[in-house]
Structure 1
């Protein structure tokens, strides 16, 4: 029987995707801030 690597929890696979998605979210946040002239919190109505 072959050992299968899990894709749930703190695995290298999960952490790689977590980092990639976090970088994408930050880039999108900066881009929308440049386009609208408002910060992220202002866009969400929190300030």
Structure 2
């Protein structure tokens, strides 16, 4: 293990950021499903069937 600052790869910052973005995405998916009454797949199908 090196003592240099890592720029790429599995850094602590990258893992924290990825986890937070996943939590935001999941929360938005749940909120959207509650508001529309359709799941994510149903919403995508509705968007694609024009």
What TM-score do the two structures reach when normalised by structure 1?
A: 0.81
| Moved segments of 4+, more than 3 Å | none
TM-score (norm 2): 0.76
**How many pairs were matched up?**
44
For structure 2, the 5+ residue unaligned runs are none
Q: Distance in 2 between matches of 1:6 and 1:28?
A: 31
Q: CA deviation at 1:7?
A: 3.3
Asked if 1:45 corresponds to 2:45, the answer is yes
Structure 1, unmatched stretches of 5+, are: none
* Counterparts of 2:36 and 2:7, CA distance in 1: 38
RMSD across aligned C-alpha pairs, in angstroms? Answer: 1.7
Structure 1 contact 33–39 (Cα < 8 Å) conserved: yes
